[in-house]
Amino acid sequence: MDIEQSKIKTIIHLDMDAFYPSVEILDNPALRGKPVIVGGNSKRGVVSSASYEARKFGVHSAQPIAQAIRLCPQGIFLPVRMARYKELSDQIFAIFHRFTPLVEPLSIDEAFLDITGTERLLGEPVAVAKLIKKTVLAETGLTVSAGVAPSKFVAKIASDIDKPDGLTVVTANGLTAFLDPLPVSRMWGAGKVTQDKLERYNIKSFKELRLFPVKTLERLFGKNGVRMQLMASGIDEREVVTGHEAKSIGHEETFVDDINEIELLERYLLELSMKTAERMRHMGLKAKVIHLKVKYHDFTLVTRSLTLDDYIDDGMVIYMTARDLLGKTEAGVRPVRLIGVSVSGLNTDGLSGQMSLFARDNKKEKARNLNRAIDSVNKRFGEKGIIPGRLLSD
């Protein structure tokens, strides 16, 4: 894979700066300059996002709220107002779409844009990134950091280099100079275990990773080793995948404490299924394959999946299937650290308009109308406007 051979792409990674706290500050300017921490409402909850002021105290996302309170007792702790964040997110994504249809959302506040070949229309990539940042700030009052690079991986690193309100450009010629000094902790897919292992072989920087014998890397890390070396050399051929072409949609949850009780896992499963279905309906997609992912306490990962006969977008169907799949794992016997639900085999809503012969179709029709109603309520009142009763007991 020679980088010169394939057409050089121009990718922009856009990442909102401390999105949730920034929205809170936007709505209540008195909070500006203060350590704002947005997170779960219960004791089991974790930090969703913290303002830069709070981060100075060591508060970071996915940290238990209790720990954040200890680290930063003067912090202003606010509940997650998803509906409001979504509203702004929709505005921001609408701005992205003015520049290119090739927008791949990574999350509510993060996206890849492929602007390859738009120079004539929009000008130099740097100018485009500047314009996007300016437009987002002007129309929403929020800042976004941008990374411009020939690949997704490098663009994502670049956007993170100069946060907040940053703009980092890496050209094809400047790739090596940019990547070489980076520590391996920046490597995508290299967790603590991998990092420690790399360190044992004295690989601390991307340069050392790039120059290491590939055979040895493959022996040590398998395919992942080869992939890491390619990434460290700036080679990442992944395309920007727009929502419409998304291969799968899903949600997962990592627990603060490992879970043994199957009932509790099922409740999480229900919540994740409902969220997944809501997103599918939002994107106008239906799916045929349901996947369940279970990570046990010792980090071993198992997946189970089932292909349905019909395309569906109903959370209850996803949940029932995922629950059956859960029965095929060792959940309940081995403590579970993470659980995830996803769907694939996606199809746009309108095309699978096949009607059913039997009265149950009416039931499906009713479920569809109900789901639509729930979605619109949730859109107005936040994600938890209407939820299954089972999820209320928290």
Partner 1 sequence: MEIKVNRDSLFKSVSKVQSILEKRSNMPILSMILISADDRSVNISATDLEISMQQKIEANVITAGSITISGRKLFEILKESKSNDISIKEKENNWVFISDDKTQYNLACMSAEEYPVFVEPEDVDMVEMECTALADMINKTIYAITLEEAGYKLSGVYTERIQREDAYFLRMVSTDGHRLSLSDKQIDNLDKIKMDKGVMIPKKGLLELNKITSEGEKISIGFKENNCVAKNENSLVVIRLLESKFPDYREVISIDLKNSVSLNRNELFDGMRRMMILSSESSKGVQITLQNNIMELVSINPDLGDVKDHIKIDYPGEMVEMGFNSKYFVDVLQSMESENVVICFNDNSSPCMLRGEDDKGFLGLIMPMRI
Residues interacting with partner 1, by CB under 8 A?
308-310, 347-348, 350-360, 363-364
Phi then psi dihedrals of residue 198, to 5 deg: -60, -40
Between 146 and 317, CB nearer to partner 1? 317
Q: How far is the CB of 324 from partner 1 (least distance, A)?
A: 11
Between 23 and 343, CB nearer to partner 1? 343
The answer, yes or no, to whether the previous bond of 125 is cis (omega within 30 of 0) is no
What's CA 53's distance to the chain center, in Å? 24
Q: How far is the CB of 272 from partner 1 (least distance, A)?
A: 22
Between 107 and 352, CB nearer to partner 1? 352
Is residue 110 annotated as a catalytic residue, yes or no?
A: yes
* Amino acid identity at 316: M
Question: Got the DSSP string for 55-81?
Answer: HTTT--TTSBHHHHHHH-TT-EEEE--
Helix (H, G, I), strand (E, B) or coil at 348: strand
Q: Which of 222, 192, 206 is nearest to 157 (CA)?
A: 206
Between 41 and 248, CB nearer to partner 1? 248
> Which H helix or E strand runs over 332?
none
Between 214 and 370, CB nearer to partner 1? 370
The C-alpha atoms of residue 277 and residue 271 are separated, in whole angstroms, by 10
Q: Is 253 exposed, middle or buried (0-12, 13-18, 19+ CB in 10 A)?
A: middle
The C-alpha atoms of residue 117 and residue 311 are separated, in whole angstroms, by 36
Catalytic residue among 104, 110, 278, 383: 110
The C-alpha atoms of residue 325 and residue 297 are separated, in whole angstroms, by 19
Helix (H, G, I), strand (E, B) or coil at 340: strand
CB-based contact 66:24 (threshold 8 Å): no
Q: How far is the CB of 99 from partner 1 (least distance, A)?
A: 24
Q: How far is the CB of 244 from partner 1 (least distance, A)?
A: 11
Question: Got the DSSP string for 210-254?
Answer: HHS-HHHHHHHHTHHHHHHHHHHTT---PPP--GGG-SEEEEEEE
Between 2 and 309, CB nearer to partner 1? 309
Q: How far is the CB of 317 from partner 1 (least distance, A)?
A: 9
The C-alpha atoms of residue 334 and residue 390 are separated, in whole angstroms, by 24
Active site residues: 110
